[in-house]
Amino acid sequence: MPVDLPSTLLFVGRLLLGGAFVCAGLRNIQNAAFLTQLMAARGVPQARSALWAGIVLQIIAGTLVIAGLRMAIASTVLVLFLIVATPMFHNFWDHQGPDRASRINGFVGNVALGGGFLTLIAQSV
């Protein structure tokens, strides 16, 4: 059977983008206590509830992206999630030295993920 390269590449791209969020959501479950404290310190109201809403969002929207279902909606939700979460968790402007470099890398990585989701939105509408 011939391989449809564009479809295969699109699936692998969705797997990588969506999978990053499914994995992050599952990892955040393990770090829930720490993340709740961090969010509360940053002034997030009802930090625990907000964290769990974000975890559920990451896992469900990431799974939808992998499956290729409701692509525009799932990708839009994840872009909005990145807009909120990136400055909260990758605030490089508040840090110096190696910690600053690490946060810059996380910030740039999230910007790139946002670009990937915008591409999926454009492809699906």
Convert the pLDDT of each residue in 42-72 to its tens digit: 999 999 999 999 999 999 999 999 999 999 9
Distance CA 20, CA 58 (A): 9
Distance CA 60, CA 119 (A): 19
Residue 36's φ and ψ, nearest 5 degrees, are -65, -45
Q: Model pTM?
A: 0.90
Query: What local confidence, expressed as pLDDT, does residue 109 receive?
Result: 95
Q: Are 21 and 124 in contact (CB under 8 A)?
A: no
Query: What local confidence, expressed as pLDDT, does residue 2 receive?
Result: 61
Q: Break the chain down into helix, strand, coil percent, rounded to 5.
A: 85, 0, 15
In which residue ranges of the chain is pLDDT below 70?
A: 1-2
